[in-house]
Amino acid sequence: MELNVVSVKVCFLHLGLHKTASSSFQQTCAANPKLLKANQLHYPIFQCQYSKPKRLKINNHSVPLRCLYDQDPSAYHINKRWKVSNLDQAVCDYERQLDAALDTDLSLILSGEGLSLLRPVALKKLIDRIESRQFEIQPLALVRSPLDYAHSIAQQLIRGGQHLELIGFGPLASPRPMKKITIPDGLRELTNLLAVFDQQLKLVPFRHACRHQAGPVGFLLDEFCGVKQLADITYQQTQESKSNAWVRLQNQINRRWPAFDRNKTLNPNHFKLKSDFAESGKFRLTQFELSLIENQLSDSNRQLAELLGPGFVDGDVDVSEEINADQALEWITDLCQSTSFKVADS
């Protein structure tokens, strides 16, 4: 009697977490389809025909998968930013594209830092769907320390158009504690992921991944997906990091013209700075700004160490120097100069 042997494919499920080079990994995978295929790997690219403008190369799988499995996809901020006109039809289209991706005979890479925000019941539905197509799931998440997360998330929120009273601008705007802000530390997401995957979930400190010879993207390709031809990879860097002056100036712009108004609708008056002010150095919170969230950081460090171990709480101790009046004025005049050149050129 001849037995039908079903070959098991692997779904490498990269779950972030946020601010751990996920975008660079996604763009690198999207830029190297032939090399991935040579390693029996498929990285699907999605499309949204219902956004304005149309999005034809979606490499962050958070977007389609959260639309499919979020409790209320209409509240998903990407759908608002992309001005998706027919969400129901967009979701149906994502369903079709996911089915096509799961039809592959290769192993599959799915990557979306936003997947860690799905409720456990929704994540289990996604897992069941993947496993029903003869995939063995291997989940992984990189974990940033609360201290490193605080620096990074402050910049991200400001880049996204929010104003943070925590971030000062020298003597012109002193930093103030914010009752409504909670520095994300990944604890809720990690607790949910562990509840779903338990010991199956591989967790790695982000700082450990950064020590790989090819950085965190190389770590994910090599140590997670098994790709060894790292010298042949065309790496994509998202260049998301902004300078100290850019972040602090943009924060003051967001105070006057935030990206979203109080009704959570897009503000047409919001704008982002074009100049990068690279000479001002890397953005970090100042020592005083850190002191305003010291209790949050201490609680997060304690809870994360209890959940995962002390190796997950080590962070970079570098901070930004306090800004004096001369620096603040110099940045403002530089901004005026760059703006006047653009007006003259136009």
Domain edges within the chain: 9-44+104-345
The DSSP symbol for 6 reads P
pLDDT digit string, tens, across residues 225-278: 999 999 999 999 876 689 999 999 999 999 999 998 777 788 899 999 988 898
Across residues 97-104, what is the average pLDDT? 98
In the prediction, which pLDDT does 289 show?
A: 96
Question: 242 or 102: which carries more pLDDT confidence?
Answer: 102
Tokens found for residue 179: 């009752």
pTM for the predicted model, two decimal places? 0.83
In the prediction, which pLDDT does 126 show?
A: 98
**Percent of the chain having pLDDT more than 70?**
95
pLDDT digit string, tens, across residues 46-99: 999 999 999 999 999 999 999 999 999 999 999 998 999 999 999 999 999 999
Answer yes or no: is pLDDT of 331 > 60.
yes
Tokens found for residue 322: 């306090």
Strand partners, 274: none
- Name residue, tokens 């950085």: 215
Amino acid present at 96: R
In the prediction, which pLDDT does 66 show?
A: 97
Options 3.40.50, 1.10.1740, 1.10.287, 3.30.70; CATH for 9-44+104-345 is 3.40.50
Answer yes or no: is pLDDT of 343 > 50.
no
pLDDT digit string, tens, across residues 186-203: 899 999 999 999 999 999
Please work out, in degrees rounded to the nearest 5, the angle formed at the alpha carbon of residue 19 by the alpha carbons of 282 and 250. Answer: 45
d(CA 141, CA 209): 11
- Let me know: does 42 contact 135? Beta carbons within 8 Å: no
**H or E element in which residue 46 lies:** strand 46-48
Integer CA distances (angstroms), 24 to 48, 60, 225, 242, in order: 21, 10, 15, 16
Integer CA distances (angstroms), 118 to 121, 124, 150, in order: 8, 9, 22
Answer yes or no: is pLDDT of 44 > 50.
yes
Residue 11 φ/ψ, nearest 5 degrees? -110, 105
Q: How confident is the model at residue 114 (pLDDT cuts 50, 70, 90)?
A: very high
Answer yes or no: is pLDDT of 4 > 70.
no
Answer yes or no: is pLDDT of 144 > 70.
yes
